[in-house]
Amino acid sequence: MESQRNVSEFILLGLSYDHRTQIFCFVFFLFCYAALLVGNLLILISIRCSPLFHQPMYYFLSHLSCMDICFTSSITPKFIADLLVGRKAISYGNCMLQVFTMHFFGMTEVLILTVMAFDRYAAICKPLHYLLVMNRARCNLLVLAAWAGGAAHSFPQFFLVIRLPFCGPNEIDHYFCDIFPLLKVACADTYVTGVLLVANSGMVTLVAFVVLFFSYVIILFTLRNHSAKGRRKALSTCGSHITVIVLFFGPSVFAYLRPPTTFPEDKVFALFYTIIAPMFNPFIYTLRNSEMKNAMRNVWNQTLELNIFYTKQRGS
């Protein structure tokens, strides 16, 4: 591998060269990342500490929150730290690690969203068989399949990129190590590699989106036979899921389902699926969900009661 490259680090050009813009972005995205961590951790704790954990929908939601944290944390901490420095460098090894983790956690999240759509399909279209279809063993198997799918997607991506020779320019016009910007600085003909990467990332994302789209077409068609109350309850949970899918898949499809080249808009779209969408997920899933609100309220009350108890113990 050493014979194929003489680049030991890459220089990330980031979002902007303007110092004031970088300071604003630092404050804004630090707030976004903190909100993302707090919101998703709150969902995780609330579900794990309540009977909701035994319901398939919330079981998958807890895994989605975990993926949001892992996916964003593979990119955002360094991005935020780089906003305060002039030279935004990343070592070759860390760059390759960032490529792998981003695609591993990102594809696992895509597959978990697909699994959640299947869960809603089973709950609405097969209500009498729902508990039999979505038993805990099958839920565990679906989550394991999502992780395996993430690995099956990310390892080929990683091996295609790590084989690229880098021997000249090392400036990447992005705020993290993404595949297309790396193809641009590789000192070799990357056409075949680019086609393979597009086929892997773009087509998998498109197929997942099409599956999700038709799943919800079937669900909405089935809802016509439900009562008004049943439709409202189903649309409440499905609406949250559809919103998350649009926020995550829209920019992702633009970023990867196209010829392997770079555009100035790439960084803006990447902000949506790496930071903005994962930050909004906790709000989307809790604002219209009374069960999640009650679970969070109970966890909060239990925490307060424990604090009061330990305070009294220390006082006595």
**pLDDT tens-digit series, residues 100-122:** 999 999 899 989 988 988 888 88
pLDDT of res. 72: 93
pLDDT of res. 2: 43
CA-to-CA distance for 133 and 122, rounded, in angstroms? 7
Q: Are 232 and 281 in contact (CB under 8 A)?
A: no
CA-to-CA distance for 243 and 248, rounded, in angstroms? 9
CA-to-CA distance for 268 and 16, rounded, in angstroms? 11
Q: Tokens at residue 168, please?
A: 């000249």
CATH number of 9-289: 1.20.1070.10
Region of 14 (left: φ > 0; alpha: ψ -120 to 50; beta: rest) is left
pLDDT of res. 194: 80
Residue 10, classed as helix, strand or coil, is: strand
The model carries a pTM of 0.85
CA-to-CA distance for 289 and 297, rounded, in angstroms? 12
CB-based contacts of 50: which residues, under 8 Å, 6+ apart? 295, 298, 299
3-class SS shares of the chain: helix, strand, coil, % to 5? 80, 5, 20
pLDDT digit of tens for each residue in the chain (316 aa)?
444 567 788 999 888 788 888 999 999 999 999 999 998 998 898 888 888 888 898 899 999 999 999 999 999 999 999 998 888 899 999 999 999 999 999 899 989 988 988 888 888 888 888 888 899 999 999 999 999 999 998 998 898 888 888 887 788 888 899 888 888 888 888 888 888 887 777 777 777 878 888 888 888 788 777 777 767 766 766 777 777 777 777 777 666 666 666 666 778 888 888 898 888 888 887 766 777 777 777 777 776 766 666 666 666 6
